[in-house]
Amino acid sequence: MLVALDLTARQAARVLAQALHEHARLEIDPRPVFLGSPLVGSLDSAERDCLVVQITENAERIRLTTLLGAMCDVRTVLSGQLYLFATPVLEATEGPVPRLRMGRPTAIQVANRRQFARRTPTEAVPVRLLIPGVAQPLVAQISNLSRSGLGCHGPRRELDDTLLIGDQIQVEFMLPWAPQVYRLPATVCTKNASPDQTRLSVGLEFAADDAASRASLELLRSMLDNETQRLLDMEGDTP
């Protein structure tokens, strides 16, 4: 089941800024028109009330000028996250370089971002990242924990050069107040640079695939559900 969460205005502004910086690839489905395949374009620029999109694929499927006023469902992937919004076509230009002017979205959703509440430890918790083919584990700091995964951060150059979105790794950590060592398989889902560009935040989703790792994950989940003093609920739009 697809789970989509509304972003705050601040988060939505960040997403649009990132999309503009990267000239993000957009998939556009006009409603109620059925094209078989979505229009595909790159986000060229933004004005106060609109986005300018250069159509790069499937423009031949329809006369773009017939889409004036049509509401469109738009999808884009940034840093491994799927973002969704709906917006109307305000202006269409055909020719060698087809373009659409589309309304600046008032609401943006992120799909499958987090299914469970995040908890942040009150004490520093290091985590070892064991990567296939890499002799020495990388060491990062846990930012948050949930029933489905964890966030961590560490030196950007070291992590960015070694980890790719979709990589399957092992994480190993121990909480300071308990003797249990958690060793779990995980998938790299997100990578985001910190504001000073020297550190990288990495989002990992647990992928327990055998009896031992499933048992370890159940112990972790039980601890997360019951510990209220040394794990605090995260609030706001911290990534």
Number of domains in the chain: 2
Summary mean pLDDT of the chain = 86
SS3 content of the chain, % helix, strand, coil (to 5): 20, 45, 35
Distance CA 96, CA 223 (A): 60
132: containing domain: 119-233
**Residue after which a domain boundary falls, among 48, 82, 111:** 111
Distance CA 192, CA 184 (A): 22
Q: Does residue 1 carry a pLDDT above 50?
A: no
Residue 94 located in a structural domain: yes
pLDDT for position 48 = 85
Residue 238 located in a structural domain: no
The model's pLDDT over 169-195, given as tens digits with 9 standing for 90+, comes to 999 999 988 889 999 999 887 787 777
The number of residues making up the chain comes to: 239
Q: What is the CATH number of the domain that holds 183?
A: 2.40.10.220
pLDDT for position 184 = 95
Tokens representing 142? 């846990």
Q: What is the CATH number of the domain that holds 47?
A: 2.30.110.10
Residue 19 located in a structural domain: yes
The model's pLDDT over 199-234, given as tens digits with 9 standing for 90+, comes to 888 989 898 888 999 999 999 998 888 887 888 876
